Every structure is written in structure tokens, then in C-alpha cells.
Structure 1
Amino acid sequence: MKEIWDIRLPQLLALPILFVALFFTSLKSIAQECPSLLNPTDGAISVPVNSPITWESVTGVPGYIISLGTTAGGNDIVNERNVGTSTSFSPPTGLPENTEIFVTITLFFFNQPNIICDTQSFTTAALTEVPDCVTSTLPSNNSNNINTSTNISWSAASGASGYILSIGTTLNGSEILNNLDMGNNLSYNPPTDLPSEANIFVNIIPYNSIGMATGCNTIFFTTAEAAILPQCTSMITPFDGETNVSLDKFLEWNPVPNATGYRVSIGTSPFETNILENAILFKNSTVIIDLEPNRTFFISIIPFNEAGEAIGCSQETFSTILGCGPYFDPISGDLIVLNPQLTFPDTISICDGNELNRITATDEADGYRWYQLDERGNESLLSSSSEVFIDTEGKYIYEAYIILEDSGSTFECSSSKMFEITISEAPKIEDVSVDIGDNSLNYIINTTAPGNYEFALDNENGPYQDSNRFNDISLENHTVYVRDKEGCGTAQWLVEQDLTVNGFPKFFTPNGDGVNDFWRFISPIETGESNISVIYIYDRFGSLLAQLSPDTKGWNGIFNGRPLPESDYWFKALTISNKEVKGHFSLKR
């Protein structure tokens, strides 16, 4: 989230004038914001000729323009290509071999002059082998019903510095075009239409200083009946390259007489169609719902008719009007953003059964909106005040906005975020599992349903812990507490010790699970000392089953190599002063 700065509207309107006056005095401090090359780095050598060029992202910069040349500041390879907000560019035809490449990145702004950064450079590697063959073409191989007015284009071949093109109506034929050197171009527009309803064979041979590619396949396609394609069009509103375009979102272009429709794509960089992708329109205008202020947009409009699509149409650009920022303040060197900064949480838990689950905005703003999202992402307005009442789990949107006036019109600067409502309920304890250790107890607290709970022992006020397990606690009665973290209630459970007063367990479970598998005497935890000298275990008929020393692991429920059944058993223990302690216990499986 961008930072909010306290600025009044008169200050905002004065910024362009202030910037013009102070631009040259602050240029030195601005220049340090220019990005460094990330790949290849400045000064790198032996760079592959097909390497993409990437650079650092600069905060507050709405777009970048890149030029590539073979001299400092030159643009003979790429001339001022606007790449929008992208920080990466791949030269469409690759780079020349064994050459120092000079990269100039220009920072594009709406409310101040562009900043031309210092040129950086790297040197490409020398080629050591012939280029690869072309991997894809338009028309594609084996395609049918291709318009006779089609252009022929192909993907760049790795390591190629040029291409030899031949076109004929027979395999390896060249009566249409005979071994034309295309240079480092990736398309060919035949001066006349191709023959109709004919087989067309295209040979594209990449070459470089080492030699020509070998083993390249011939491309084959079949043309359709002769037909007239529509011509390309151009933007009317806004016109190509226009800046400070109003946010009325109405786009219009020149009508094409023989076009039956238009394919329209719009994105925030030349390589994206994230606003509109291949929308088919049957009139020469459209309304776009997702344009943002202070952005450059790239639009492609391709007319079509029954014969096919217009060929070779170029991409156009426009930039939207200043809105909510970011604005560059040349005095402070800071970025000013008028959208509210949101502190609202990602998740809110409400208590089950509470009909007054009121949620309140956490941010200062002139207005608020609350929306509920259904399974398809459709929004339903719930409230236009600073609070909303919600009693249903699901996804919602919170929006806060401030209202500004400029040139007699009013507009909003808003920020929004999606948040989730979860349901919490008062905890219920199902049981407490008790594990008897050597001289202590271990508790595991089990609730009837999972929840966002925390746990405490013997004190309702805590301290609380996230784990439902308590280890190494004394051989006494204890009370456990389970509290819902969202404040929906607390449950408690008294755990009474499962031992006789003299430290003999009331039961054991010799089932091999590692818990309570042995019945044994447990020394008092306070002293850790035993006054028991020997223990005898009997069945209900008085038959002696085992004789134990108090410091052994205990009895495992086996007599004469045979596991004994579930039942009650008796014990007699003698103290070191020869007193008897008698009792009984249960064997459970």
C-alpha cells in the first residue's frame, strides 16, 4: 500500500507549476532513482544474443521507455519502445553478435518531464555455430483456407542475423519469390495477392556469420478463394499517443467500410491484454469499465469480415488523466498518494448465534462501502456507512474513499480490499486424555469441534497457550480451560486424579500402544522417594500372579506367557516398615 501524505487540494493543483520551476534544481536528486540493469548487468561480456533485458523497478514510476543501439545513446536496434510498467524487454530479432549494446531507459511520467537515464552497456558473445531453424510461422504449417492477401511472418531463430525467403506453388519451388534476403526482418508482405485455392510452399533459411541453418522444413499452406480483406483502422478518441485522457472510458476509432466487426484488446503493457482480450465488437466504439488514472494503455483494433482479419495492424497507446496519484513532490522528493491507506484486517471472526455482529471501519475517510461476494464473484452492496452488520460466513469487500474536487468536477480516490468472515463458537470440552508418566501426568484436551482456541491450566485468566497438551504436571486434581480467541466464550473441565491416595493406579491398558501399558507404583512427585519395598498382584481367586519391586517398569498383564483378560485384580504392598497397603485395579484392553 502506498503511503498517504497530508496535502490539501490547492497544494495538489500547484504541483505542476512548482515542478516546472524546480525541476532543474532537483534533477540531481531525481537521477539517483534511475534503475540499474539486472540482466545483463552493466559492463557484462559474452552475453547471449537472444538474452532478454531486465532492470530494477522504480517506485512511483508509471512506465518505462527503452532504446537499444550500437553507440552510446543510440537507437538503431530499438527506438524508444514504450513497455508500460513492465521491467523486461526481449528484442524481437535478437541482438547482433560480438557487439557492445547500449541500453537507454527513460522513466515515463504524467505530471513531470520524462527522465532519460544514463546509458548502460554490455557486450554480446561471438557466434560459434550456424543458427537454429525457425520454430513457428503465420500462416502455420498445414493450415487451410488462408486469405490470398496474407502476410508471411515467422518467429526469430536463435543466433540468426538474417533470413533467406523463397515462395512457390510446388515443393522447393520459387516462382513467387526466389531466395530473397530479408535481412533481420521477421515478416514479408507480398506485393500482389497469392494465387487463390493453391498450395503455397515457403522456405525460410536463417543465416549468420558462420553460415546458413541446415535441415529446415518447408512450410505448407493452402489459400482460400480470392476475397478482399478489410483495412486497418486508427483511434479517434483518444487519438494515438494522447495523454491526460478523461476517465469517461469511451473509446472510438475510424470505421472501416467493408468490416463486419472489430477485435479489440487492451492492456497496461504492450505484452498484456489484462483490461480487454479479443473482445468482438460490431460498431466502432466501446465503453471500458476498468481504466485507471495515471496509466498508459496499449490498444489493438483488428477489423474483420468474412474474408478474414486485417493484416499488419499496429498497436496504439493513450494515457489517462491525473487522478489520485502518485504525485512527485520536487520539494520533498516524496510521492504523494491520495487514496486512503487501509489497515482493515484480512480475516474477521464473528460469534455463532450473535445477531449483532457489528463490524466497523478502521480507517479515516469521507465514505465507505461494504459488499458481499457470491460464489461467482458478484458483488452485493450491504452498507454505505462506516459500519456493517454481518452474520454469514464468506468473502466480502471493504472500500474507503475520499472526495476531491478539481476543475468543477468531483471524483473519488478509493482503496478497497477483500476480507473473509469466519464463524467462531464457544468451545465445548469433549474429554481430557490423561497419560500417566513416571512421576507426573500429561493432559490432552479434546474439544467437540475444532476452533480458534487457546488453553490454560488451573487459572481462567491464564497464561494461555495454543497447544492443547500439558506435560509433566503434578499428581493432583487440575482444572483445564479452553477459550475462544475471538471472545466467543470459555469452557472448563475438572480432571480428577486417577490414582489411589497411595500412588497406585486404578487401571492400566496393556495393548502395546505405549500408553499405560504397565501397572506400577508411582512415587509421590513431591519427594520422588518410595517407602514401598515389594508389591504382590493377585487374581480374584487369590492366586499370586506377580511380585514386583517398586522401581521396576511394572506388570504388563501377562501370566505364564499368556495375556490375562480384562478384569479386576488385587494388590498387596508392603512398606519398608512392614505395613500392608491393599487395593484393586482394572485391566482394560
Structure 2
Amino acid sequence: MNYVKVILLICLLLCIGSKTSAQNISVDPTVTPDVLVKNILINSSCLSIDNVSASGNPLAGQQSYGSFTGGSNFPFSTGLVLATSASKNAEGPYNQATSIGVKVFSWNGDPDLNTALGTSTSTHATVLEFDFIPSTNSISFNYFFASNEYQSFYPCSYSDGFAFLIKEVGTTDPYKNLAVLPNTTTAVSATTVHPKINSAVVEGTPKPGCEAVNENYFNGYNPASSPINYAGQTVVMNASTDVVPNKKYHLKLVVADDLTRNFPSAVFIEGGSFLSKINFGKDRTFANDNPVCFGENFVLDTKLNGADYTFKWYIKDASNNYVLLSGATTPTYAVITPGTYKVEATLNSASCTATGEISVEFTQEIKSTNTSILQCDDDTDGITFFDLTKVANIVKNNVSQITNQGYYESLANARNKVNPILNPKKYFNKYPNQVVYARIENTYGCFATPQIALNVSPYIIPDQPPFTTCDEDQTQDGLYQFNLAEQVTPQITSTLPSGLVVNFFLTADDALAETNPLANIFKNTVPFNQTIYVRAINGPDCYDIAPVELVVHTFDPPNFEDETLYLCKGEEMSLTVASGFKTYQWSNGETNNSTIINTAGDHTISVTDSNDCQKTKTFKVILSEPATITGADVKDFSGIDNSVKIVYTGVGDYEFSLDGSVFQDDPTFTQVRPGIYNAVAVDKHGCGISNSFLLYVLDYPRFFTPNGDGYNDLWTIQNIDQMPDYSVSIFDRYGKLLKQMNQNSSGWNGIFNGHELPSDDYWFTLLFVNGKIVKGHFSLKR
């Protein structure tokens, strides 16, 4: 049983190996160049081929070109391969260990390839070239490039090169390379097509990486099971070019190593893909961003001689089948409806039928409107400048998807998009009633050319009287603001047709050019008298431009500043301003230059001059009256910190005194000496003096000297006898009571129990009948 399993496993592995091997391409390096070109590359009777030749690896038995047969997972079923090593080495699988290749120093490069790629270092060149005569206007074939340089950091710096070079036989024209990236002149190579490559360390040396380049054309790195023996390859690409039917061309297919002769490369060309076709160019569709413009005379042209060919034209129907267009038998066909079109051109002298196909779509019609601009003329000569851009939206019917592509003096220039007007915002017409043209385009470059008539306005704004205002700010400098919309516009528009809009400008040139319009609130920039300009418009059209005079009157009477006065309570006063003004208006309604008032507050007088400019003065009348002193906050027994704060009522502005001779603004007095005071307050504005208020400031002596000299022999508190009932208790430093006194006591003489007490510090407690307590200490000095 185990023996049977082993046999089955061996068979399975053999089958798998056979299947894997079958996926590799098979290369035949013995095929002649003539067979490669005429039987493998080209499968068309519409091409005449001659002068086929090839060259490559000089080593015997290692031809570097050949035919191949591809497996099911290879892009091409058959074709030819041109390599920089033996073509047989192109067969898979991929073997990285041998990918560096073998250097053959007797195998040189190709000068035409060097010229095409801008180098001089090609080596190991393999060339297949031939002449051909096409019967149609286009050729193309399919290919892809494979290389062992698609590993490590190499594509950042190195690449083998290849080119498909074509030129007309018998001319000195340079070769044109067809092996380029689509819609560019960039040659296809490992350095121009690769993914992002990370830095690497090669033989101990760091090598920098590089960003991806045209990665969308890179098909990928090849695994060990690849059907070809190369590290990576591009996607399948197409080489094509336009040709002239019946002219002879030379085509040179060449691939070569770079100077290093390492890591071989190859080009694989699909068998039978070299075709002579009729090329109408890219599909004219929205997807390609090039649909045919509405109204365009779009003709499909085979560029073939009608006498040599028979033509059939087709269009695809809704079922995706081609339907013969009856009567269409000429080399050209005018397309008027969208669709996919095909032509078959059969050469009358041979069994050669070439085809061409194209899809066509049409854009919508561009709607445009002819219009005119009515501009004002500053000197009535019929020549002025116009802002053509003002009608930019009108000519394109306000369609945002349509763009303005310039303005032109002639219809031919507009159609050909040449010689545009360089400054359309300030274009001077060449003659009265001139017509210019706008060019408007859709996103596909389709255009229309509406015309714009340039006309000069015949209308006139009547002369306007000056617009006046008074300088009402604090600085009478003749500069003040105008509300143009309210003060000027209504008067101007009252004399114009309804519907016109007016704008104002500092200068006539600004008004003509419609630049720097003034704001509605405009402060004149020239004192007292300034001329600005009004422009009346109807949409984009100018009705007329006219001067507008602005006058600013000043009014600054002397001695008219605001004034503050004081009114004594119960009295009245006269308020007076100068005579000679046009009008007077007091806030109490009187209209003379003076008035009698008996109340405090703001009293205003407004006067006007001959220009009706107004000036207002405010008399700020403040009520005043004598003060009434109601009391005093006395801080005593504090030595130099004794103070008195007079408490009063009244609405006046007062100054205060404790002795009736020295006055101060503050009702609080500091550093008040002990004594008896009669406080008063006087109104500063002559409204009288207050009542007199009697107050006492008391303090105790800080020491006494009871030595019998008649001076300071008793310790007593001055003026305390004027106070309500009280008692004074004196103690020594140990708290022993030594003396008690009241209103009837004359003071203490420093004797206790008939004995003189020594010099020392003593303490007292003063207790008033109202509960106030004062404590302190003093010194007895002998």
C-alpha cells in the first residue's frame, strides 16, 4: 500500500513539473531575420517588406534574437525577442543567481541607439531592421521591456536601452523613436519606469533609493516561476506612428546593454501585431476630453487615393453591430451625428484591406449673445476707452461653465485665437461705432465669437448747483463728510431717466475708467470747495459723466465754548451770547441772545449763521448753597495722629476751617493739636458760610515734672472738664492704684500716701460716662 502511494506521489510531482515547465516561453534562436519579420512580426498584405537584416551576439550558437512561443500566462502567444544576451537565455524560469549575465567584450553597441537615447556607452547591441512601404497612414505593434536591472537599487542609476527607430528612406531626417511612454518623448527603460526603490547596501557600500517613476507602466517584479528569465518587466505597450501611404520607410529595432555589460535585458514584440492601419487619431469623446464641437465640419479622412482603393464606411448600431452606411464610398466621410465609425479600405490591386475606427461625440451648442457697450466720451471726438470685460457674462449668457478667452479686433483673429486685445479693461476704439469680437469657449476648447458694438453715449447730465454742507466737527478746517447717496444722488437722478444708477469718482479719468469709486460717506480731500465726478450708468452702459461741486462752510464764532456756572439756591441768573447771529434757539424755547434761568442743569443755545450752519453752546449750571455742619468725627488722645472729620450737608462746593482763618478743601483735618475749635464751611461760589460747630480735641500729657517750679507740676488732661462725667485711675507698673480723679480734681502731683513717687512710667484708665475708655501711660520725671 505504501509502495503504491509513493508511485502516485512521484507521478503527481512529474505532472506538476511538466505543467510548470509548459508555462515558460520557448525561444527558437535559429529563425532567420527574414522569417522573423515577414512571417512572425508582420501579418498584413498591406505592407511591402524588403532589405531585412539582423545582428547580435557574435558568439557561435548564442544568437541574441529569435522567435518565441508563449504559454497561457504570457502576454503574447507568439512573437520575437531581441536580447542583450543569448536569446535562448530568455526562457524561464527566472534565476536570480545567473541574472548578472555574461560579458562579451567583442560585442559592441549601436550608434543610432546612442543618438536616440543621448548616450555613447551602449554595448551588446541586438538589431533587427528592414524597409517597408505602407498602404495606409499608420503603423503600430505591441511590445514590453524586461530586464534583470529590476533588482536592488539599480533602476535608480542604471538601465539598458532600446529603441524602435523609424525614418523615411532616402532622406536625411533623424530617426524617430517609437519606444516611448504614451504622449511623451521619454524613452522606455528601467530608469524611467519603476516603483519606489528603497536604499540598499551593496558589498558594504550604501546605495540611495529613489521615488517611483511612471509606476503605472511597471508590470511588476518576476517570481522564480516566471515564464521568462528576467527580474521585472513593463506592461504591454504599443508603438505607433503616422506614415504616408506608398512611401518607403526604414525601421530599426535595437536593444543594448549599458556600459557595465551586466544584467541583460530584452524586448518582446507580439507576433502579428505589426499592422498597417488607418489612423483617425484618438477617439473624439468626452472621456478623452476632446469631443467634436457643435457645428464643426468634422471629416474622417483616410488620406488614401480614391482611385486605388474601394471604401466601405460603417456605424455601430444600438446592438453594437456595425451597419454599412449606404452611399459612403469615398476616402472621406463627414460625421454629423455621434457614434462609432469604421472604414474598410481595400486595395484594388491586391488582397489588402486596412481598417480604421473612431468614436465620435458632439458637444452642446455654445449659446452666445451679441451686445453693445455705451461709453461716455470726455472730449466728444467719438474716441474713448471701453472696459470690454463688463459684458463678459452677457456674451456668454451668464453660463459659468463657459469661459472668456479674450477680445479681438477682427472676426478672423477671434476665430484663430491670435492677436488678442492686450488690455480689454481699457481699450480705445479706433473709430466711432467700432465692432469688436469676444471669444468664448467651453471646457473642450469649442468656441463662439459674439460681437460687441462700441458706441459713444449722446446723453448729458444737466449742470448741477453746488452741494453744500457745514463743517460740524470740532476742527473747523473746511473738511467734512457728505452722504452722497442722501445729499447728492436724489438731486441728480431727479433730472435723469428712471432706472439709472449713479456712482461718484475723485477724478474725471477715474469716472471714465470706472476705477476707485467713492464710498457713499465721502469726506472731501480739498478744504472748503472740491469738484468730484458723477457717472450715470444703465447696466454696463455709461449715460454721462458730469462734475459735481461740493462746498463745506465753516462756522466758528468766538467765545462759544461750553461754560460752567454756579447758581445759588433760591436765586436766578442771566445767560447771554453775542448778538448778530441769524437765529437763536435756547433749550427753554426762547429765541433771543439771552435768557433768565433759576434752575440748575444744562441750558443750551443754538445759533445759525447766514449759511444756516449751526453752532451750539452749553451752559452747565450747577446748584450751590451754604453748608450745614451736623457734627464732627474726632480722633483724639492720639498725639500727632489726632484728626477731625467735619460732617456736613449741602449741595455746594465747600472749603473747611477749624479756626475760621485757615481753610482747606478736605473736611478731614490731620495732626490736630488738643484744643477747643469752632468749625465752619464756606461755599466757594459765594453762596454763603455755614453754621459754627464747637468741638474739642483732647489729649494727655506724655510726662510731667512735679518739682515745684510751677511748670508742669501736675499731670492733668487739658479741657477735660468740658466733657461729660468721667473718672481717671492712675496705676504703677505693677497695677497698683495710686490716684483717682474726676471733674472736680485739679490733677495728680506724683504723691502717694504722702510720699513722692520716684521717676518712672505710670498707667491710666479714663472712663467716660458714655462708656468710652481711653488707656495710656506717661512718665514722671524728677
TM tier, shorter chain? 0.3 to 0.5
TM-score, normalised to structure 1, is 0.34
TM-score, normalised to structure 2, is 0.27
Structure 1 or 2, whichever has the larger Rg, is 2
